[in-house]
Each structure stands twice: as C-alpha cells, then as structure tokens.
Chains A and B, each alone.
Chain A
Amino acid sequence: MSLKALTFLVVGATFALYIYIAIRARARSTSEFYVAGTGVHPVLNGMATGADWMSAASFISMAGLISFKGYDASVYLMGWTGGYVLLAMLLAPYLRKYGKYTVPEFIGDRYYSKAARLVAILCLVVASLTYVIGQMKGIGVAFSRFMEVHYAVGLIAGMAIVFIYAVLGGMKGITYTQIAQYCVLIFAYTVPAIFISLHLTGNPIPQLGLGSTMANGSGYLLDKLDLICNDLGFAAYTAQKMSTLDIFLLTLSLMIGTAGLPHVITRFFTVPKVKDARSSAGWALVFIAILYTTAPAVGAMAYMNLIDTVQAGPVGVSTNNLEYSTRPDWFKKWEETGLLKYEDKNGDGRIQYYNEKNKDFAAKAEAEYGWKGNEMIKIDNDIMVLANPEIAGLPNWVIALVAAGGIAAALSTAAGLLLAISSAVSHDLLKGVFTPNIDEKTELLASRFSMAGAILVAGYLGLNPPGFAAQVVALAFGLAASSIFPALMMGIFSRRVNNTGAICGMLAGLGTTLVYIFWFKGWLFIKGTNMLPDTPDNWLWGVSPQSFGAIGALINFAVALTVSSMTKPVPDHIRAMVEDIRIPAGAGKAQSH
C-alpha cells in the first residue's frame, strides 16, 4: 500500500475512534456531556489535560526547533512545563474553590466590575486567537505533506476539518475522547523515537540514548553533534547562542503564560475537589513530561540523520555531498510542499548545507571546496518531526502514525481554543455583559459565528505566519502572561488590588506587549507593516518579541499595585471572598458547564 493511502487509513481510523468514543460516552449519560472531568479520576483527568495542552507546537514544531537551535530551544522545554508548578501552587486550587467556570467570570466577580470582565474577554480572545494561528501553521504543514500538495492548499483543507471538528462541539468536552487522543499522540511520538534511539545508540530509551555513545563507536552522541555543527560552520549544538537575558525572559514568559492560558485553567475548575486540582496538575505534567523529555532526543537525532543524509562524511570531499539527482523520496515530497527548497548555486549537482553567515567559514568553503553558498535555501523547522521517521528509513506505518499523532495534537488544541473563544464571545460578552436576556438558540448561533470568524482570521494569518508554529504559540503565551496571569494571581494573593488597579494593569500589560510584538512582526501580524526589522540589534535591550510577555507581566503587576494604592480600597465583601477562596473547606460541587 502506498504511504499516502496508508496515512489516510490511519488518520481516518483514529478519527473514527474519537467519534465512536464521543458518541458512546454521550449515549451513556447525556447529563455528563458538558461536565469535563467531574467524577473522573485525577490521573485520567491529567491525561486529558495533557492532550488538551499539547498542540501542534509541542508535537510538530518543538523538536524541529531543538534540531536547529540546540541548547537555546531549552526555553520551550522548561517554559512549557515549569508553568504547571505555578498553576498548581498559585492558581488552580483557589480557582476550583471559587467554583465558577470561565476566567472572565472570576475576574469580573473578584474585581466587582463589568469593565474588568470585558478587558479579561479582550485579553483572552487576543491570546487564544494568536495561539490558533500557530495551530493552523502546524495543521497546514501536516496536511500539505500527506496530501502531497502545496502548503497553502493543505492549510485550507485543515481549516475545513477544524471547522467541522470544532462545530461538532461537545466532543471536546468529553474527557474520554481526549484520553484516546493522548494515547494516539504519545504512541506516535515515542515509537519513532525509540526506533531511532535504538538505531543510533543501541539504547531503546530516548532520554538515555541522548546521553549515550554512538552505536558505531564514534563517541558520545552530543559530542559528535557538536563536532558536526562546528564542521559546517555552525555554533556547537550544546552551546548557548541567544543572550542569557533573552533566554531567561522567554522561559519566564512561557511559564507564566502557561498558567494564564484560559483553556488550560478551565480544566481545573471542574475537578471534583480542591485537593484534586493540585494533584491533577501534577498528573497532567507527568503525561506532558513523557513527550517533553523525549523531544530533545528526537530533535538531536533527527538533525544527526538529516546531516548524515546530505553530508555523508568529512567536509571538503565532494563525493560526501549528496547528489541532487539521487536525493531520497522524502526529499522530493517535501519539496512539493514548498517547505524544503534547494538551489544549485555552484552548479555541481550536489547539495551543500552549511552556515553561510559564518564569514570565515564561508570564505574557506569557497576557496577550498568551491562552495558558493548554502544550497538548502529553505528547511522549514516545522517539517522535522514529520520527516524524521522517513529520514531514518522507518517503515511506512510509523510515518502514517506520526501524521495521525500530529493531527490529533493540533485538532484537540485548536478545538479547545476555539471553544474558549466562542464561549468568551457568546457566554461572557453577549450574555454576561450586553444582552443578558439572549435565548439559548441565539447564544449558540453567536458562538458558531465567532468560531467560524476565528478560523478564518487564524487561517488567513496562517498563510503568512509570523514564525514557526512554536514561535507563534510563544507569542500567544507572552500575551496571556502579560494580561491574564497577573490579574488572577493578584486576585487571590492580594486583598488590596481593586477594580481600577486590575483594569489598568491588564490594559497596560496587554497593550505594551501587543505593541512590542506588532512593532517587529507587523500590525495585526500583517507582513510588511512592521516598524523595525525583527533582528536582535533592533530589539529593546536585546529582548525578542516572544520574550516580552515577562516584562509585560511585570508592568501589569506594577501598574495594578500603584493604581490600587491611589484609588478606593476594596469593599469588605470582596475581601471576605478572597479569604474564602484561600481555604479549601466549603468548596461546592464542581459546576457543570
């Protein structure tokens, strides 16, 4: 069977599985349909949270960034896991005690103001929408490869499927579907990793394989990788390339963004008990960690195999460079998507991949080897995970499985985010603020329209994404970090922050972060409208737009505390409410929604 047919079969089978589980769970008890997680064991709830959380960015994009950035990509690994520590200690148990279900609802009540609720809705929609753009990029990459079409066509097909999937709606709320998605996703991620680790190092556990010696006796894998990078004019794989400040701030921004993302927080509103909110965060992180500790091995080993393919031996011996006419099949297939491009600059019919920006090396390569520039003119980092099993020559069923896993990851998260956006618009904005008397039918219609609108906007921006999937998602985290997290945390840990303070804080945090991002990425992410080129020497103190969320959060805290100290104190009943959410006793049953 051809790879294409096999992929359609595996992806189709997993879809059938999700739908089957969704229908069975619904048939068994209609009342439980909307109650994600109540009565579900914390371990299973953690697994479902893992599926909700791990998106195209984690599955498709992250290991590719690790391949090309090496140590610097640690920011994503630490940033997207460390946030759960903050979530478990600073937010989840208290928000569970409070017992309502949307983030704007909590902010509106705690800061006794409809305006605060409105601002929270704005922050939520901006952050979630940016996040969906990242998912669209990932979905576009996956679909374009397996339908063997250009990226743009793949993206449009993906948009249609996300629309159908998300409008089917309630499916997302069913914990058991997500547990199935987690299983597919983690199986698809670890199986090729085990194969490749075994092949390269002889150790079947990728986490250990990465620290092992090469099976061919050429020393430690990471040392070898450092050497290979140096030989091609790149900085060593394990060396730091970004500035320490930028690494620090980006990690921080991703961590607090994790704790501020609405679709993740919502899951902890519905666990049975306050106690469970704490341990559930731990279980979620266990399941996430399985993928996150495997990713560094996938990144390193995929890169090793890629280089091995195009540069089969010592640099300088021309026969070691892959002849373009004999390039493997996966190479041709990825060229069709437009995400991989080759240009024969020196006309020798062979492929030279090296760091042409390294002036010394480029000069030496030209003089001694006759290389006239890097000929792999485009390697989209997002293709690495999907191409990885093909590069390593794994069987077709593994390749098909990886496609199914990537699509599961992207769909589950995109659907979750679209649901968060549409519930913010229909439930919080229309019903909560503008038209409280709205009937259920109109509310549902409004939510469908906002979902369709979000997909169109995200799809359009996904055609010209402001970065790789993981980088776009990082922007979304910066936005959540600068707006939602500080408001929630101060709402629990401070009894002094009042309505005016919180509103000014959120607007200042979101505003500065958004302007800083748009300044370098283009207004509303539209290409060509940026005020300055997005390069390190233009950034303020060398802080990249992805990292600015941490500074935005600081601004938010500072403004909120200052304004609160100058305006009317918090009324007594709100103080009492804050004291009440700090203790677990008296927590009601989880709200159904």
Chain B
Amino acid sequence: MRDGMKYWKANLRLIIICLVIWFVVSYGFGILMVDKMNTIRLGGYKLGFWFAQQGSIYIFVALIFFYAKKMSKLDREHDVHED
C-alpha cells in the first residue's frame, strides 16, 4: 500500500509536468502569447499561427507517447505492473 501511494505521487508529478507543456504550447504559444510569437517567422508561417494550427498537435502526440513510456517504467519500478 505504501508503495502504491508513492507510485500515485510519482504519477501525479509526471501528469503535472506533461500538462504544463500541454498548456504552454497550445494556450500559451497558440493563444495568450500569439501576437508576440507571430513576430517570429518559420518560413511562410508566423510562429504563433504555426503553433495554433500545426505545432501544438505534433507536441500533443509526442507528449502522450512520452507519458506512456515513462508510466510503463514507473509501473515496473513500483511493482504495480500487469503480469
């Protein structure tokens, strides 16, 4: 049970890290700071526009696989993995 608690804490920490990135790339770069980001250019894209219509989606995909990989490791470390 104690280990279960530790595992849950570690999981929560990982979720928070991932969701901070999730928030920054979409709500941050794509919405709240879009005007600032748009002063930088990526080819024909303004960077804020790129994050809003392309970049954030790529990062979402990467985040899920990162989380899944880290969690598989955590599952084993805390011995709560499925057989």
A residues apposed to B, CB below 8 Å = 66, 71, 74, 77-78, 81-82, 84-85, 88-90, 93, 207, 210-213, 220-223, 238, 240, 244, 247-248, 251-252, 273-275, 278-279, 281-282, 285-286, 289, 292-293, 296, 579, 582-587
Contacts and interface: CB of A to CB of B under 8 A. Distances in A.
Interface of B: 1, 4, 7-8, 11, 15, 18-19, 22, 26-27, 30-32, 34-35, 38, 42-46, 49-50, 52-54, 56-58, 60-61, 63-65, 67-68, 71-72, 75, 79-82
A296 B55 CA distance: 12
Contact of A244 (B32, B43, B82): B32
B51 to A, nearest CB: 9
Contact of A81 (B11, B50, B57, B65): B57
B26 A293 contact: no
A239 B46 CA distance: 10
A78 B56 contact: yes
A88 B18 CA distance: 11
Contacts of A584: 75, 80-82
B67 A88 contact: yes
9 contacts: A74-B52, A74-B53, A82-B22, A221-B44, A248-B31, A275-B72, A279-B68, A282-B61, A583-B8
Given A285-B60, A579-B4, A582-B4, A211 B68 contact: no
A211 B50 contact: yes
A66 B4 CA distance: 46
B75 A78 contact: no
Contacts of A210: 44-45, 54
Contact of B45 (A211, A240, A279, A579): A211
Contacts of B80: 583-585
Nearest to A73: B53
B68 A275 contact: yes
B32 A248 contact: yes
Q: What 4 pairs between A and B have smallest CB-CB spacing?
A: A220-B44, A74-B52, A282-B64, A278-B68
Contacts of B58: 289, 293
Contacts of A74: 30-31, 49, 52-53
A156 to B, nearest CB: 36
B54 A85 contact: no
Contact of A238 (B42, B49, B63, B81): B49
A586 B43 CA distance: 51
A77 B4 contact: no
B22 A78 contact: no
Contacts of A583: 4, 7-8, 80
A77 B52 CA distance: 8
A292 B49 contact: no
Given A74-B53, A82-B60, A220-B43, A279 B15 contact: no
A81 B60 contact: yes
A583 B81 CA distance: 8
Contact of A247 (B8, B31, B42, B67): B31
Contacts of A77: 52-53, 56-57
A89 B7 contact: no
B30 to A, nearest CB: 6
A197 B57 CA distance: 20
B56 A85 contact: no
B61 A285 contact: yes
A85 B82 contact: no
Nearest to A287: B61
B57 to A, nearest CB: 5
A90 B8 CA distance: 12
A453 to B, nearest CB: 37
A212 B43 contact: yes
Given A78-B26, A222-B45, 7 more contacts: A71-B52, A85-B22, A211-B50, A251-B26, A278-B67, A279-B64, A584-B81
A293 B61 CA distance: 12
Contacts of B49: 71, 74, 222, 238
A75 to B, nearest CB: 9
A275 B82 contact: yes
B76 to A, nearest CB: 10
Nearest to B35: A240
A585 B81 contact: yes
Contacts of A282: 61, 64-65, 68
Contacts of A78: 26, 30, 52, 56-57
B61 A286 contact: yes
B31 A251 contact: yes
Contacts of B46: 222, 238
Nearest to A295: B53
B30 A281 contact: no
A232 to B, nearest CB: 20
